[in-house]
Amino acid sequence: MSETNSSLTSIKKILPLILATAIFMQMLDSTILNTSLPSIAKDLKESPLNMQNAIISYVLTLAVFMPASGFLADRFGTKRVFIFSLVLFSLGSLFCALSQNLTHLVISRVIQGVGGSLMTPVGKLALIKTFDKSELLKAMNFAIIPALIGPVLGPLVGGYMVDYLSWHWIFLINIPIGFLGIILGIKYMPNYKSKDVDFDLKGFMIFAAASLLLSISLELFGDLQNITPVLLIFILGFLFLYYYYKHAKKEGNPIFPLNLFQVRTFRVGIVGNLATRLGISAVPLLLPLMIQIAYKQTAVTSGWIVAPMALTAILGKSSVIKILDRFGYRQTLMVNTFVIGTLICMLAIPDIHTNLLWFIPIIAVLGFFNSIQFTSMNTISIADLRNFQTSSGNSLISVNQQLAIGFGIAFGLIVLKIFESTDLIKGEIHNAFRYTFLTVGFLTILSGLVFRRLHISDGKNMKSKE
């Protein structure tokens, strides 16, 4: 009995680290490519505009295959699927580094995407099933830190690697990290399975089609010159979502049961995630763009301006449990969303002659409140799910987050282009960015109203045992 307890204690210590490794690789890889595309395009003798396929292929693969992660984990075990996903992601990274042309790179990114679509949701599922709800907040709190650091380090690391080494290293860096995750996974990852597994292939195909169409529309929405086909793809994506809804009502065991949405905290968490990330996801893209385009600074300089967000995010992680225990989820999320929206609006205050250092304290404070927001939304979403709902619920949360980030980036670019084409900016691109921050910040403030649907007592079963 003592050996079992000792083994469980070891697993509980290492499991958040294993998930953190997977999240870090995925988040770093999602952003590190952005600053490296011109260099890769030159080496592969391609136009930088055509290189967008290397990003799109990865995002689409994530969105399409994430819904299958819960079924595969239940069928083959969390340990086997997680290790397989790390091997696949690492191999995909190696193939990316060895790519001789754009076609090779896109295929390699798809392989990476399949691995990425499995490793984070399955690792998170193992965490949910291992920890009691009273312990889960602490464990999730630690594991999500890389999700905050990755997007900040990505452009910075990518810029330095391209300048001082070569673009190949932005992919090769994944291999030692993946190897560490595989070794830890073999030793410490629990292998949870479900005895009663029935895969809804039709539902998966319908939902995958919806995710694919919505993701494609998100990637193409920035092209305002030819908006009609993009809107048609977007509408078709929502029609497939409605088709899935009709299918799930008839299907005995759908891939995403509709009874998930009867759980109020899950419903609020999903909608809140989608709404608030419209603003939160736009900032890491818009601010570096403004610094490079309007202020004429380098990519590395813009990376350093954003870097303090990572440090304060870690500080926020150390405070979030105490904040939630004292104020509860409802009050924390409503106030926190208001603060984030206000900080985004404050990014519009400096004019073109203001010193860039002015942005650093705003970004630093924003990182602190972002970390509280992500942890709170993720944990309240699964607070009241029952054991039989955790696999499908966890997969749907992951897909929703991926699409929400895509919506945020696309939305920020669309608003920027609209202001850029109006007379409001008076020929100064910097003013277009300022109006965009005001718009995005104001909508983020409004999104906090979603959390009014929470009750004061919601999430009390998630409180930590000190």
Of residues 75, 63, 77, 162, the one with CA closest to residue 117:
63
Is the pLDDT confidence value at 442 over 90? Answer: yes
Is the pLDDT confidence value at 56 over 70? Answer: no
**At 84, which helix (H) or strand (E)?**
helix 78-98
> Span 447-457, mean pLDDT?
84
How far is it, in rounded angstroms, from Cα 106 to Cα 52?
10
Residues 369-428 pLDDT 10s: 988 888 888 888 877 677 667 767 777 887 787 777 777 777 787 788 788 777 666 667
**At 367, which helix (H) or strand (E)?**
helix 359-381
How far is it, in rounded angstroms, from Cα 176 to Cα 180?
6
User: Where does the pLDDT of residue 3 fall: very low under 50, low under 70, confident under 90, or very high at 90 and above?
Assistant: very low
User: Where does the pLDDT of residue 460 fall: very low under 50, low under 70, confident under 90, or very high at 90 and above?
Assistant: low
Give, in order, the Cα–Cα distances in Å from 360 to each of 155, 285, 336.
17, 16, 20
How far is it, in rounded angstroms, from Cα 200 to Cα 204?
6
Give the per-residue pLDDT at 61. Answer: 80
> Span 12-34, mean pLDDT?
72
User: Where does the pLDDT of residue 1 fall: very low under 50, low under 70, confident under 90, or very high at 90 and above?
Assistant: very low
Q: Are 103 and 94 in contact (CB under 8 A)?
A: no
Neighbours of 26 (CB within 10 A): 24
How far is it, in rounded angstroms, from Cα 125 to Cα 197?
16
- Report how far Cα 35 is from the mean position of its chain's Cα atoms: 19
3-class SS string, 205-266: HHHHHHHHHHHHHHHHCCCHHHHHHHHHHHHHHHHHHHHHHHHHHHCCCCCCCHHHHHCHHH
Give the per-residue pLDDT at 465. Answer: 38
For the chain, what is the mean pLDDT? 78
Give the per-residue pLDDT at 440. Answer: 92
Give, in order, the Cα–Cα distances in Å from 184 to each of 14, 192, 437.
8, 16, 42
Of residues 338, 204, 337, the one with CA closest to residue 273:
337
Is the pLDDT confidence value at 154 over 60? Answer: yes
User: Where does the pLDDT of residue 94 fall: very low under 50, low under 70, confident under 90, or very high at 90 and above?
Assistant: very high
| 1.25.10.10, 3.90.1170.30, 1.10.10.10, 1.20.1250.20: CATH of 259-466 | 1.20.1250.20
Q: Homologous superfamily of 1-197 in CATH?
A: MFS general substrate transporter like domains (1.20.1250.20)
- DSSP for residue 195: S
Residues 112-124 pLDDT 10s: 988 888 887 787 7
How far is it, in rounded angstroms, from Cα 136 to Cα 127?
8
Label residue 18 exposed, middle or buried (CB < 10 Å: 0-12, 13-18, 19+): buried
Q: Is the dihedral of CA 123, 129, 131, 136 positive or negative?
A: positive
Residue 421's SS3 state is coil
User: Where does the pLDDT of residue 53 fall: very low under 50, low under 70, confident under 90, or very high at 90 and above?
Assistant: low
Dihedral (C-alpha) 323, 327, 328, 331: value to the nearest 10 degrees? -110
How far is it, in rounded angstroms, from Cα 107 to Cα 49?
18
Is the pLDDT confidence value at 464 over 50? Answer: no
Is the pLDDT confidence value at 6 over 70? Answer: no
Neighbours of 193 (CB within 10 A): 13
Give the per-residue pLDDT at 45. Answer: 78
Is the pLDDT confidence value at 106 over 60? Answer: yes
Buried b (16+ CB within 10 A) or exposed e, 402-418: bbbbbbbbbbbbbbbbe
User: Where does the pLDDT of residue 149 fall: very low under 50, low under 70, confident under 90, or very high at 90 and above?
Assistant: low
Q: Which residue has the higher pLDDT, 224 or 117?
A: 117
Least confident window among 2-11, 211-220, 267-276: 2-11
Q: Are 417 and 409 in contact (CB under 8 A)?
A: no
How far is it, in rounded angstroms, from Cα 101 to Cα 2?
56
Is the pLDDT confidence value at 91 over 90? Answer: yes
Q: Which residue has the higher pLDDT, 192 or 225?
A: 192
